[in-house]
Amino acid sequence: MKKIGLILVISIFSLSNATAQLIKVDQEVFGMDCAPCAYGLERGLKKMDGLESVKVSLNEGKAYLKLAADNTLTLQKIQKEVKNNGFSARSAVVTLNGELVKEGNEWSLYLNGETFKVSQDTTDDVLAKLNPGKVKLMGLVKDKEDDQLNSIWNIRITEIL
């Protein structure tokens, strides 16, 4: 009986996490100043499991990542790869599915061990649409200037999809 209960709990936990994932990341990259740099970063990012497509634009200073269904990537892992290739990861526009929770007056979104706290500069019309539960949304995440990797982010939600 204990095994059946444990399997049920693991199955429910797995199903709830299966829908919590990054879908798309447009990552600003600082320090890219030549075509070989952009090419090297693109090659480095493509080695990550869970990506459907990667395009790095030297002119725009961004890496555009489309993530595969059922991926387990985090923004922290993506930014770590950018930094491992010798660049700084700055702001990112992310599209994600996750669990939106209201705790007191704060909204948070939980995703693969990362927490996205809804920033106070999210517009009132977007805030009015927020409801606890599973959501798909787009938002802006800014990396701290100290270049440290984070697992707690402030996200300015721009659109609920």
Q: What is the pLDDT of residues 57-83, one digit of tens each?
A: 999 999 999 999 989 999 999 999 999
The burial of 14, by beta-carbon neighbours within 10 Å (0-12 exposed, 13-18 middle, 19 or more buried), is given as: exposed
Q: State the chain's maximal CA–CA distance in angstroms.
A: 61
CA distance 159 to 93: 11
Amino acid sitting at position 108: S
Angle at CA of residue 103, ends 72 and 25, nearest 5°: 30
Asked if 86 and 77 touch (Cβ cutoff 8 Å), the reply is: no
Q: Delineate the domains of the chain, giving CATH numbers in brackets.
A: 21-160 (3.30.70.100)
CA distance 116 to 110: 6
Q: Cβ atoms within 10 A of the Cβ of 11, count?
A: 10
Q: Look up residue 82 and give its two tokens.
A: 């950018």
Q: Look up residue 114 and give its two tokens.
A: 């990362």
Q: Please report, in tens digits, the pLDDT of each residue of the chain (161 residues total).
A: 544 443 333 333 334 444 679 999 999 999 999 999 999 999 999 999 999 999 999 999 999 999 999 899 999 999 999 999 999 998 999 999 998 999 998 999 998 889 999 998 899 999 999 999 999 999 999 876 555 667 889 999 999 99
Q: What is the pTM of this model?
A: 0.83
CA distance 147 to 157: 22
